[in-house]
Chains A and B, each alone.
Chain A
Amino acid sequence: MLLDSTFDINTTKLQSVNIPEETFRSIEKFLFKEAKLLDQRNFWEWDKLFTESGMYWVPHKHEQDNPFDHISLFWENRMLREVRIRRVENSRNWSQQPQTQTAHLVGNLIVEGVDDQGHLVVSAVFQITEWRLKLRQLAGRYTYKLATQDDGDWKIQLKRVDLVNCNDVFENLEVFI
């Protein structure tokens, strides 16, 4: 179930960790690649960056504890991410005519630590310029739980997006942030 409270969303109680410079660079490259896939609306490839159980979460409240007892702007597993992709790519997607266009700027990468399952937790600040009929700025901090892969690459176990204005009045948010 979507509100399965056993999913570990903790990104604050962590073991500290030191990582080599080349690992840091590989994470940076991974996040830049992710941002580019979003900007290119290559959403199916973007979704593949998640683990099978990976979650995409945009809290509605500042410092929101969990998605289980409070609403979220997004709380999506693979099924719901795929539904969103299918909808925005549907030819009768009236609200995507014209399409939303984005430019993501990702920086200030920080390694936060390691969680109980051994995921590396990193965070980065983002700025997104979004256009559909008019410009909109979105900004905040991404926090990722990353799982190492056999090929040395990364997968996303959790992408948490804390918008500076998470509890604001919003017009529709149609594509992934």
Chain B
Amino acid sequence: MIPTNEQIAELIREDSVHKSVYTDPVLFKLEMERIYGHAWIYVGHKSQVKNSGDYHTTRIGEQDVVMVRGSDGAVNVLYNRCPHKGAKLVADGDGNVGKFFRCPYHAWTYKLDGQHLSAPLKSGFEGTCYDPKHADFSMVSVARVDSYRGFVFASQASYGEDLKTFLGGVITSIDNLCDRSPVGEVEVVGGIFRVQQRSNWKVFYENLHDTMHARVTHESSVDAARGEAEAIGEMPFELLIMDGNGEPYDFWEKLELRAYTNGHGYMEAIFDPAAAERDVVSREHFECLKKAYGEERSREILGMNRHNTVIYGSGSPHTVFMQFRVIRPLSVDRTMVEIQTFRCKGAPDSVFDRALTYANVINSPSSNVMPDDVEVYARCQEGNMTRGGEWISMHRYAGKDITLEDGAISTNGTSELPMRNQFAAWKKFMTATIIAKESTHAA
């Protein structure tokens, strides 16, 4: 039974949520329609499809889509389905289809924007409704496709706010990621990790700005990094990025959490304008940017020291270490994370080396940090299947955040503001009035 909007709204309180939002397959299916069927979702970066015919497959919610570079240079996002018998036109992954898509089943072909090109033995269609110009015989494009500084997003709804409005203030994180290149451009390089988690997709979003878990969940990797640093007498970058989770509570309390409309937000590390002069990589990076932007602007760019950003429904860019953890829901209790690493065009090689090291050490399936996260997410998933309670607490600093025109800002870095903000967006999408799709048949 599909719950009414009133029933859905009752699952979300100001300071808590009902556990069924993580465990109910009916709600998951509704999320795929009402959130992933409407919101702007990150598909991929233009650099993944450099040349005409290059494609990259991924998912928008439960939908298999293919991002493809058209012959006119535009990036198209199409459902990966041949309109003849329904076969997926390309295998999952990356590649180049050439000048057109050609179905491996009956050789129907489509232009790179999905338009029907041809089918063999056309005489067989004489006297039928077959019409190469009718939409029924072309690949279907996702309703809206737009991009911002190379980041391609798509919305499965033909209506609703535009991409920039949807992103709102969180767009500054995309800007900062790109501005770290002296030419203002980044590209996805070096391969993409894919990690599966045994938990609902929303837990990961919540955890990204959950400062209270760091020193508890990650005690094993913090201890390991500190023990090793003591043994070798230094704390190199690889250990430092594991050690950070062990900061005491008063460190986390001082951080700023910013929440934007639509569930987005970021968690700020302590502003440190001197950071550029500390380590060799940052110094080189600063010198390079100074030539392009001048000293003041470069300091501003590298001084914007954000930890995880959340683009709700899409995932989490990390602007300093040049990552994008793209979060793809698979089922109510399975989630896949695609981890992209970026190269800042024109920046010193050491900046990319650092990004690659961060990906290997922190985001790889072999990470020493992530397994403990993944384990506690799975324990939430399993614990919430018991009869041991109905509600999930988000009480920390509830009612204490400062409301702003486009979201809110925390008064304490351990606030559960990000979770409350994400569920406000969840409720908005899940209870919105849905405009029915128009349908036209060729006949």
Contacts and interface: CB of A to CB of B under 8 A. Distances in A.
Q: Which of A82, A167, A172: most chain B Cβ within 10 A?
A: A172
B196 A171 contact: yes
Interface stretch (A28-36, A72-80, A119-127): A72-80
B366 A73 contact: yes
A70 B193 CA distance: 11
A168 interface: yes
Contacts of B239: 79, 83
A169 interface: yes
Chain B residues touching A, majority SS: helix
Contacts of B192: 71
Contact of A60 (B191, B236, B242, B379): B191
A172 B376 CA distance: 13
Interface string A157-177: 000000000011111111000
B336 to A, nearest CB: 6
A94 B195 CA distance: 18
A95 B195 contact: no
A3 B366 CA distance: 17
Contacts of B242: 83
Contacts of A82: 228, 231
Contacts of A13: none
Contacts of A95: 371-372, 374-375
Nearest to A64: B191
Contacts of A173: 364-366
Contacts of A84: 224, 368
A139 B231 CA distance: 34
A68 B364 CA distance: 15
A118 to B, nearest CB: 28
A167 B41 CA distance: 24
B269 interface: no
Contact of A83 (B194, B353, B368, B370): B368
B360 interface: yes
Contact of A71 (B221, B356, B374, B379): B356
A60 B190 CA distance: 10
A80 B238 contact: yes
Interface residues of B, number: 45
B359 interface: yes
Interface in A39-91: 58, 60-61, 68-75, 79-80, 82-84, 86-88, 90
B193 A83 contact: no
Contact of B224 (A60, A71, A90): A90
B48 interface: no
B236 A69 contact: no
A94 B236 contact: no
Contacts of A58: 366
Contact of A86 (B194, B223, B366): B223
A93 interface: yes
A172 B366 contact: yes
B165 interface: no
A82 B190 CA distance: 26
Nearest to A177: B366
A25 interface: no
A2 interface: yes
B299 to A, nearest CB: 26
Given A71-B359, A73-B364, A83-B242, A90 B196 contact: no
Nearest to A73: B366
Nearest to B338: A169
Contact of B190 (A70, A88, A93): A70
Contacts of B366: 58, 73-74, 172-174
A83 B341 contact: no
A71 B192 CA distance: 8
Contacts of A1: 353
Contacts of B223: 86-87, 90, 92
B220 A73 contact: no
B219 A92 contact: yes
Given A69-B190, A95-B374, A172 B217 contact: no
A163 to B, nearest CB: 11
Interface string A84-109: 10111010111111000000000000
A143 B221 CA distance: 29
A79 B238 contact: yes
A98 B376 CA distance: 13
A-B pairs with lowest CB-CB distance, top 6: A86-B224, A95-B371, A170-B365, A90-B220, A95-B375, A87-B224
Interface of A: 1-3, 58, 60-61, 68-75, 79-80, 82-84, 86-88, 90, 92-97, 167-174
Interface of B: 189-198, 217, 219-221, 223-225, 227-228, 231-232, 236, 238-239, 242, 336, 341, 353, 356-357, 359-361, 364-368, 370-372, 374-376, 379
25 contacts: A2-B238, A60-B191, A68-B356, A69-B190, A71-B193, A71-B359, A71-B360, A73-B364, A83-B239, A83-B242, A86-B224, A86-B227, A92-B219, A93-B220, A94-B217, A94-B372, A96-B371, A169-B194, A169-B195, A169-B196, A169-B336, A171-B197, A171-B198, A172-B366, A173-B365
